[in-house]
Amino acid sequence: MTRKFFGTDGIRGRTNSDKMTASTAMRIGQAAGAHFRRGTHRNRVVIGKDTRLSGYMVESALVAGFTSVGVDVIMTGPLPTPAIAMLTHEMRADLGVMISASHNPYEDNGIKLFGPDGFKLSDEDEMAIEALLDEKPQLAEPQDIGRARRIEDARGRYIHAVKQSVGADVRFDTLKVVVDCANGAAYQVTPSAIWELGAEVVTLGVTPNGTNINDGVGSTSLDALKAKVIETGADIGIALDGDADRLILIDEKGQTVDGDQIMALIATRMSEKGQLRGGGVVATVMSNLGLERYLEGIGLTLERTRVGDRHVLERMKQGGFNIGGEQSGHMILLDHATTGDGTVAALRVLSSLVRSGRPASELLRLFDPVPQLLKNVRFDGGNPLAAEGVKQAIVAGEAELAGKGRLLIRASGTEPLIRVMAEGDDAALVERVVDSICDSVRAAV
């Protein structure tokens, strides 16, 4: 069966067009509700969202869909994606839903689904829901229609949970931290959690208005955070994305620290304490070769998966790993969360800062990255990678990098982009190969 709705991270699209309409959201609620109806108890779903204007519309449509097939709904309002995963399991819900398009602009929105265990759905569950979308919904009898209610303490529950990820003896009193919440889902909870642990907190991206999510702030727009860290003399800057499941850091010198360095630090500390499981870290094909070399140097492994935190998580569960993530900032720490959690990862880094007494620029530079270049080419339709000129350019690039580096070309699973990445010890060669392939893709589109 061909996927029409689900991509690499749930369902995502431009609001009021393509897949992200109110009618589609209602159908998804009906199909997911029908698929997860089980047992003799009142079935329930937890629904959270980020701060996009369209979140109200999608939320209302999902509520209509779920209640129409007899599923009760619990609404939390704006909360990070990992908070919804946590609450789904904690509240014994049958399903969790996060309404968010993550790092995308406000015009887009998406729907992420979690099973009763708090983990993202398997391929089998997603395909089963897709199949139900083509069938007539089995509507509940009038007396069995679901009820909907909002809970007011969801933020407090999440703040309490994430604070448990650091030792009870740890305080952040010595730290000044700039927290950029991307005008997204974490705009209240993450600054509060860090402040409650004692840090002086300076905030950015905490005034959402429905249309400014990820707009010049957050993990994909770091200039404002870099400037604020330098201006305030902060020890570190924390950048989340729209739904706060990823983390990028800025050190006290204004330099970017990506997910590879964060994984290296957390894995090193946990290995030293005997807390690391699986013998290493799970990351994607995008992670830098420098990370792989560093981990090998301290006796750990790096296992690579396809791009997407769900693929990382699947391998972690299979191999018994408790640390995984992506260079883009998804950090999965299975001892504390069932999905990527930028706030938990940030607290672990802050804890290491306090315990080490070292500046972030030293603590978070565990390896020298191999020159790596990623460029994106936008396209409007079709399959540019099938063009003969593109195929020839890729073959030529692979031949140039043979034995000297890696080449990765893929279509984005969330946006109409072709991503071209190469890495190797020769920066000039890497740039030449990437530019050549990007030029061939542009010519094809």
Q: Which residues are catalytic?
A: 102
Question: Would you state the structure tokens that stand for residue 148, as one six-digit string?
Answer: 């909907």
Cβ-count burial 333-360 (b if 16+ within 10 Å, e if not): bbebbbbbbbbbbbbbbbbbbbeeeeeb
SS (H, E, C) 109-153: EEEEEECCCCCECCHHHHHHHHHHHCCCCCCCCHHHCCCEEECCC
E strand or H helix that includes residue 342? helix 342-356
Q: Which has the closest alpha carbon to 346: 374, 325, 376?
A: 325
E strand or H helix that includes residue 373? strand 372-378
Contact at 8 Å (CB) between 430 and 423? yes
Contact at 8 Å (CB) between 69 and 30? yes
Distance CA 240, CA 431 (A): 29
Distance CA 412, CA 419 (A): 7
Q: DSSP secondary-structure letter at 32?
A: H
Sheet containing 200-204: which strands, arranged edge to edge? 200-204, 176-180, 236-240, 247-251, 256-257
Helix, strand, coil abundance in the chain, percent, nearest 5: 40, 20, 40
